[in-house]
Each structure stands twice: as structure tokens, then as C-alpha cells.
Amino acid sequence: MTRAQVVRVHGFGGPEVMALETEDLPDPGPGEVRLRHTAVGLNFIDCYHRSGLYPMPLPTGIGLEAAGVIEALGPGVEGLAPGDRVGYCIGPLGAYGDRRNFPAELLMKLPDGVSDEDAASLMLQGLTAWYLLRRTYPVKAGETVLFHAAAGGVGLIACQWAKHLGVRLIGTAGSPEKAELAKAHGAAEVILYREEDVAGRVRELTGGKGVPVVYDSVGKDTWEGSLDSLSVRGLMVTFGNASGPVPAFSPGVLSAKGSLFLTRPTLFHYIGDKAERDAAAAELFDLVARGVIRTNVRQRFALTDVVAAHEALEGRRTVGSTVLLP
């Protein structure tokens, strides 16, 4: 019997509810492979799963993203072999661990030029930047957009991708150091949203017009300022809750502020289809291979330090991407 180290959550709460446990891992079942993780991606959604903002049946594993090596195939798995380097960023929770069984159909083969750490930092955040900029509101060269938390994991990828597409990205960031980092990755302007009036600055930077789209993952704290930054018939993309969920509101608000559109997208509805997911991943990995998008693993934590990793992420002490190393 194989043994696995896994992080389990037995009750919702702060980072301290996570515990590393050792358990038996059965042989992979039909359609599954057994993976040995080499790097695990830390994503803000993991905090929502841990805190109970996105409730899961308990006890639960945690984590959506990892890179690693196939150790064994279950019955019926084709096109993969032990030793293959693979990664994933959707599927059942449980990436925080050193080994697991996982559905083969959700795996992506990793290109030679992308390290395991880079892959674990890139798939979920990179495919999020992909669907936001290329699908939810497909940006066009010459447009100006507002992207919150521009120095974060998703943010730094979005800055680079927007620049590559000829888009003027106005970012927001929580400190001057973070603002500089976002600029170094392609943001044209960065607003210090803990000090400055976001909508006022956006109006100044757009000749009073506002932007056609706001990508907002901060949620509660930025909601009003985001709506007020939009041009008439602009699109509000609210895709996260780093500061807490957006409070209930009346649809009349959208009318009063300029016949605005609103969407609350999630990655899983954009890459749930395998063909679409593989095409999106190919586009992302190609931009990385060509040096258009630089990966940004800026924090590394041992899996045993998972509590400290969550404290850092929620405490706004990280920039770019973070990986956990089993």
C-alpha cells in the first residue's frame, strides 16, 4: 500500500484549521493515475475553500493545482505512461499533498521548457488571465482596461498578456513596491487603491470616459469604485472576493451607472471542455516558451508550512505566484 501526505480541513476557519496527515493511498481506480506531486500551486480560491466562503462537505482535501510525475496507471487509461510530467488545475480538491489518485482526462502534459514549479504557478492563474482577457471580455489593441490586484498571481500574468495584446492596462496595487512590480510587467498605470480614489483616477486617465471593462477580484472593497470607473454600457467582471464578497445590490444600480453589464465568471466554466482547455493551455504555454509571459514564483513554502503560506497570501504579503513544495 502506498502512503500519502495530505492536507485536510476538518472544520472551516482560519489557516490553522489545515493539518498535514498521513494516510493510505489505494491503487488508482478506472480512469485514474497515481501522481507524485513535485510542486503545488497556491491560489486565493484555496482560502475560500478553507474558510467556508465556498462551502465543501467536510472533512475535505484542499488545493486545485499541482504539477508532478505519473507513478502508476489505473485500468483504462490511454495516452499516458508512468514517468510522464503532467499538471492540472481543475478537478476534485486535494492538490495539497505529496501523492494522490487523479482523473487522467483532466491532466495536461507539461512542455519540456516549463519547469514543474512554473507549471504549478501558471496553469490556474494563467488560464484565468486567458479567459478574462480573451473570452469574457475579449480585449482589443488600443483599449484601456482596469485590472485590480495587478501585482498578484493572476495580476502579473494579466499585465504581461494585456501589453502583448496592445492593451493599456490600468492596474491597482496595495503598495508602491507592488505598483512598480506591476509596471515592470506591463501595466501602463497603477493606482494605489488604499490611498487614491480609483474611479476618480480612472476618469482622469481616460479623459473622463471611463473604461469598457473592469476585472475585479477584490470584491467588497472595490465594488463601488469599479462600477464608477466604467464607461456607458461597460462590463463589470467580478471574479473574486479577496476583501470579502460583494454585498447584495439592486439591478437598478447598473442602470443608474450607465446601463452596465455584469458577469460573475469562474474558470471552470471556461475550461471544463477538454478541447477548449487544451487549446487554452497551448496558447498559454506558447507565450511562456516565447518569453512573452514570464512566470513569477516569488514565494516558496514547504508543504509542512502551509499555514504560514495562507497567512502570507491573505495578509497581502505575497506578490506574483506562490508554490508549496511537498
| Interface residues toward ligand NDP, by CB under 6 A | 43-45, 124-125, 128, 149, 151-155, 173-174, 178, 217-218, 221, 239-243, 265-267, 313-314, 316, 318
From CA 211, how far away is CA 230, in angstroms rounded? 5
Give the Å distances, CA to CA, from 125 to 41, 212, 320. Answer: 9, 23, 10
Instruction: Output 111 or 265, the one with its CB closest to ligand NDP.
Output: 265
Phi, psi of 140 (to 5 degrees): -120, 145
- CB of 44: closest distance to ligand NDP in angstroms? 4
Considering the complex, what minimum distance in angstroms separates the CB of residue 252 from ligand NDP?
Answer: 25
> Which residue is at the shortest CB distance from ligand NDP?
152
The DSSP line for 220-282 is TTTHHHHHTTEEEEEEEEE---TT-PPPP--THHHHHTTS-EEE---THHHH-SHHHHHHHHH
Closest contact distance (angstroms) between CB of 127 and ligand NDP is: 8
Nearer to ligand NDP, 31 or 91 (CB): 91
Shortest distance, CB of residue 239 to ligand NDP, whole angstroms?
4
Mapped onto helix, strand or coil, the DSSP state of residue 184 is: helix
Which residue number, 151 or 303, has a Cβ lying nearer to ligand NDP? Answer: 151
Residue 176, exposed/middle/buried by CB under 10 A (0-12, 13-18, 19+)? exposed
Q: Which residues contact 58 (CB under 8 A, 6 or more apart)?
A: 9, 10, 11, 12
Distance in Å, CB of 1 to ligand NDP, minimum: 35
Nearer to ligand NDP, 43 or 231 (CB): 43
Minimal distance, residue 155 CB to ligand NDP, in Å: 5
89 or 114: CB nearest ligand NDP: 89
Its sign, for the CA torsion 213, 215, 219, 221, is: negative
Nearer to ligand NDP, 25 or 154 (CB): 154
**Distance (Å, rounded) from C-alpha 143 to C-alpha 151?**
20
The phi, psi pair for 216, rounded to 5°, reads: -125, 110
Of 17 and 70, the one with the shorter C-beta distance to ligand NDP is 17
Bridge partners of 170?
146, 189
Contacts of 55 (CB under 8 A, 6+ apart): 12
Minimum separation from the CB atom of position 320 to ligand NDP (A): 7
